């Protein structure tokens, strides 16, 4: 197996991670790269006029995206890649302004399965989307990214909680409201008005609604004496979004290929733009109607002739907690992509799809690993089983090994980024799926 360390790709990855503090920013960043590569934007509310051999993309809720390239002839199968744009974190409550001990704080709610302890004593920015009303009554949605340290969640001194290192429970309602400034009169809407003017030149607008969350402003870094590791927020699952996009942009354009990046995976995917919603199914119906067979029969044939690779990171073997893995299924960082298997269908992998991916890795000359959780531990899930259930497409779950999943800062291997990109590119280029 050849060793891979693509410095230019890692630079693009770090830039993407830093520009994507929320699913809306991630979708916007991906859309920009797609347009630079010649993809045409489609609107779901418009009539589509698809041309064979061309490349297109469409978004939903501004937080999910599907990009696809069409073959020159009739569409009979698709090589599909799947990922998700959201990550666990702390989101603002609608009436977030609160005061305590002379300090302005903002009330938060937990989004997804957050590892809470690492959020203390971090430099926090604030990002998301804000909906404003102009003086003429027009509503507008804008992205906001306050990418400087404007808040923190201070820890309680050990002198006041001597047993804290024995595992004190954390209460997100009473103990995790970030501190913004020393004031008992400042209000969130006034701060939003200031930031909207700074970033968008908006004045005399009314803030009508928002979806905002805190994030760690520390930039991504290459870690280790030989830069073996990449550390960043939101590697789960923006790393997969990035790798999937890289593969789509690097593959040839001779056959059908599609990338879907859904929002809301971390909270169950049950939304119009989540994997349990109709977004992918709607797009496939429109593709079949215009460049496929056009019938319900041909849609089923198209789906069953296709394959989905669901990409979501895997738990790497932790050097300090080796007992948390099955001894034969502990993926190594920089050991290559991981096939994720679960007999209870928490992952969608079957022996058929697993064999196909192993053959893809052989062709791409990259190592491949397997992950199965311990039989006495629970297992997470991905968009893979949900997409397979909702759409019916044969699916495999794979991912890159990482430490500290769902922490405010996660860690993966630098060589693995190139390994998976190469494997996915080979998959998209394959003339047949058998």
231 forms beta bridges with 221, 411
* CA angle (96, 101, 105) in 5-degree steps: 20
pLDDT in tens, 412-422: 999 999 999 99
User: What strands lie across the sheet with 401-403, from one edge to the other?
Assistant: 221-223, 229-232, 410-413, 401-403, 314-315
Q: Looking up tokens 């590697």, which residue turns up?
A: 235
pLDDT in tens, 95-121: 999 999 999 999 999 999 999 999 999
- Crossing angle for the helix pair 383-391 and 279-291, nearest 10 degrees? 50
CA distance linking residue 78 with residue 94, whole number of Å: 41
Contacts 24+ apart (CB under 8 A), 378-381: 379/342, 379/344, 379/346, 379/347, 380/346, 381/346, 381/347
**pLDDT score, position 254:** 81
Q: What is the pTM of this model?
A: 0.96
**pLDDT score, position 424:** 98
Q: Looking up tokens 């500290």, which residue turns up?
A: 404
Classified as helix, coil or strand, 407 is: coil
DSSP state of 416: H
User: Could you tell me where the DSSP H helices lie in 217-309?
Assistant: 235-250, 279-291, 296-304
**pLDDT score, position 181:** 96
CA distance linking residue 341 with residue 348, whole number of Å: 8
**pLDDT score, position 432:** 79
Would you call 305 exposed, middle or buried from its count of C-beta atoms within 10 A (0-12, 13-18, 19+)? middle
**pLDDT score, position 3:** 54
| Residues with Cβ within 8 Å of residue 155, at least 6 apart in sequence | 120, 121
**pLDDT score, position 4:** 52
**pLDDT score, position 2:** 41
DSSP character string of 281-300: HHHHHHHHHHHS--SHHHHH
How many whole angstroms from its chain centre is CA 251? 21
* Average pLDDT for runs of 10 along the chain of length 434: 73 98 98 98 98 97 98 95 98 97 98 97 98 96 98 96 90 97 95 96 94 98 96 97 98 91 97 97 98 96 96 96 90 96 91 95 97 88 93 96 98 98 96 77
């Amino acid at each position: 197996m050849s060793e891979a360390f693509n410095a230019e790709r890692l630079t693009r990855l770090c830039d993407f991670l830093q520009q994507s503090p929320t699913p809306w920013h991630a979708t916007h960043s991906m859309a920009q790269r797609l347009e630079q590569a010649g993809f045409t934007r489609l609107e779901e509310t418009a009539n589509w006029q698809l041309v064979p051999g061309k490349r297109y993309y469409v978004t939903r809720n501004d937080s999910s995206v599907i990009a696809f390239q069409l073959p020159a002839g009739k569409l009979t199968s698709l090589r599909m890649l799947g990922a998700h744009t959201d990550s666990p974190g702390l989101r603002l409550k609608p009436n977030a302004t609160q005061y305590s001990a002379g300090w302005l704080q903002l009330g938060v709610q937990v989004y997804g399965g957050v590892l809470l302890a690492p959020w203390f004593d971090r430099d926090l920015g604030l990002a998301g989307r804000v909906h404003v009303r102009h003086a003429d009554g027009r509503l507008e949605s804008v992205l906001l990214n306050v990418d400087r340290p404007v808040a923190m969640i201070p820890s309680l001194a050990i002198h006041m909680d001597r047993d804290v290192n024995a595992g004190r429970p954390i209460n997100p309602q009473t103990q995790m409201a970030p501190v913004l400034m020393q004031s008992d009169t400042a209000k969130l809407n006034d701060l939003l008005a200031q930031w909207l003017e700074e970033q968008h030149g908006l004045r005399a607008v009314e803030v009508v609604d928002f979806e905002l969350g805190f994030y760690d402003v520390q930039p991504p870094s290459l870690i280790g004496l030989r830069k073996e590791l990449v550390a960043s927020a939101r590697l789960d699952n923006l790393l997969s979004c990035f790798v999937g996009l890289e593969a789509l942009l690097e593959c040839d354009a001779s056959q059908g290929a599609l990338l879907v990046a859904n929002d809301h995976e971390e909270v169950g995917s049950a939304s119009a733009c989540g994997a349990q919603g109709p977004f992918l199914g709607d797009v496939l119906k429109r593709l079949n109607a215009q460049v496929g067979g056009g019938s319900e029969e041909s849609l089923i044939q198209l789906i069953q002739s296709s394959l989905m690779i669901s990409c979501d990171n895997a738990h790497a073997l932790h050097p300090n907690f080796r007992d948390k893995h099955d001894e034969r299924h502990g993926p190594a960082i920089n050991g290559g992509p991981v096939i994720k298997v679960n007999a209870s269908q928490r992952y969608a992998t079957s022996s058929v799809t697993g064999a196909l991916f192993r053959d893809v890795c052989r062709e791409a000359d990259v190592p491949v690993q397997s992950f199965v959780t311990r039989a006495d531990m629970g297992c997470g899930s991905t968009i893979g089983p949900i997409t397979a259930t909702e759409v019916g497409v044969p699916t495999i779950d794979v991912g890159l090994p990482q430490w500290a999943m769902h922490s405010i800062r996660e860690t993966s291997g630098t060589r693995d980024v190139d390994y998976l990109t190469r494997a996915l590119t080979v998959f998209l280029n394959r003339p047949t799926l058998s």
